Amino acid sequence: MMGATKNPNSSWVAQQVRNLLVELDDRHRSVRFLIHDRDAKFCRPFDEVLPSEGVKVIESPIRAPRANAFAERWVQTARF
């Protein structure tokens, strides 16, 4: 189960991705790609954890609000 915090920082986010990978491994699931924006919370430790587990990190383009809009619309669709 993923945690929650009012003030996420880079170390907290890196720990959450470690927890997620352990949880997925326990369920015999895997992740091939992770797409994220360029927020400062997605730091080097975050990006180093993923390739070590075979996950390719894809950052959204710089100053491309429409790229994120497609992802946001998909998330809204998936929630229902």
Give pLDDT, residue 68: 67
CATH code assigned at 75? 3.30.420.10
Please give the residue that has the higher pLDDT: either 61 or 1: 61
Residue 2 lies in a domain: no
Domain count, the chain: 1
| Long-range contacts, 42-49 (Cβ 8 Å, 24+) | 42/10, 42/13, 43/10, 43/13, 43/14, 45/10, 45/11, 45/14, 46/10, 46/13, 46/14, 46/17, 49/14, 49/17, 49/18, 49/21
Q: How confident is the prediction for the chain on average, in pLDDT?
A: 81
Reported as a single tens digit per residue, the pLDDT across 51-65 is 888 889 888 888 776
